[in-house]
Amino acid sequence: MANVNPLLLVGAVIGVVTALLVFAYASVKDKKGSMGFERNMADGEIVRRLVQYAKPYGGKFIIVGFLVLFSISYDIASPLIVGYIEELVVGDFTLDHLFASVAVYAGVLVFSMLSTYFQAVILQKVGQRIISDLREDLFTHIESLAHEQLNEIPVGKLVTRVTNDTNAISMMFTNLLVNLTKNAFVILGILVAMLCLNYELTLMVLCFVPFIVIFTVIFRKFSRRAYRKVKDATTDINTYLSENLSGIKVTQIFGREDEKMTEFRQKSQTLARANQEQIFVFGVFRPLVYMLYISSILCLFYLGGMGHLTGATFLGQSISSGTIVTFYMYISKFFTPIQNLAEQFNWLQSAFASSEKVFSIMDIEPKMQDAPDAIELEDIKGEIEFKDVWFSYIPGEWVLQGVSFHVNPRQTVAFVGSTGSGKSTILSLICRNYEFQRGEILIDGIDIRKIKISCLRKHFGQMLQDVFLFSGTIRSNIVLREENIPDEEIMEVCRYVNADHFINKLDHGLDEEVRERGNNFSAGQRQLLSFARTILHKPSVMILDEATANIDTETELLIQDSLEKMRSVGTMLIVAHRLSTIQHADNIIVLSHGKILEQGTHQKLLARHGRYYQLYTLQYHKEQLNSQ
Instruction: For the chain, give every domain's residue range.
Output: 50-362, 384-627
DSSP string, 118-155: HHHHHHHHHHHHHHHHHHHHHHHHHHHS-HHHHHHS-H
Task: Read off the DSSP letter of residue 163.
Answer: I
| SS3 call for 601 | coil
- Contact between 71 and 188 (Cβ < 8 Å): no
Burial zone of 423 (CB within 10 Å; 0-12 exposed, 13-18 middle, 19+ buried): buried
Q: How far apart are CA 345 and CA 502, in angstroms?
A: 60
Residue ranges for the chain with pLDDT beneath 70: 1-15, 17-18, 21-39, 86-94, 304-320, 342-343, 346, 481-483, 547-560, 562-563, 565-568, 620-628
β-strand partners of 462: 543
Sign of the alpha-carbon torsion through 437, 439, 443, 448:
positive
| SS3 call for 393 | strand
β-strand partners of 407: 384
Query: 405-435: per-residue pLDDT in tens?
Result: 999 998 889 999 888 888 889 988 998 888 8
What is the side-by-side order of every strand in the sheet holding 384-394? 397-407, 384-394, 438-443, 446-447
Other Cβ atoms within 10 Å of 91 Cβ, number = 12
Exposure b/e, 602-619, CB count within 10 A at least 16 = b = beebeeeeebbeebbeee
Provide the pLDDT for residue 413: 92
Q: How far apart are CA 477 and CA 405, in angstroms?
A: 34
Query: 25-42: per-residue pLDDT in tens?
Result: 666 554 444 434 445 777
| SS3 call for 411 | coil
Provide the pLDDT for residue 35: 39
pTM over 0.85: no
Q: How far apart are CA 514 and CA 300, in angstroms?
A: 70
Q: Which amino acid is at 251?
A: T
Q: Which amino acid is at 316?
A: G
The CATH homologous superfamily for domain 384-627 is P-loop containing nucleotide triphosphate hydrolases (3.40.50.300)
Domain 50-362 annotated CATH 1.20.1560.10: yes
> Which residue in 444, 394, 405 sits closest to 427, CA to CA?
405
Other Cβ atoms within 10 Å of 414 Cβ, number = 24
Q: Which amino acid is at 166?
A: T
Q: How far apart are CA 250 and CA 152, in angstroms?
A: 22
Q: How far apart are CA 412 and CA 542, in angstroms?
A: 9
Provide the pLDDT for residue 1: 37
The reply to whether 384-627 shares the fold of 50-362 is no
Distances (CA, A) of 493 to 489, 509, 547: 6, 14, 18
Other Cβ atoms within 10 Å of 57 Cβ, number = 19
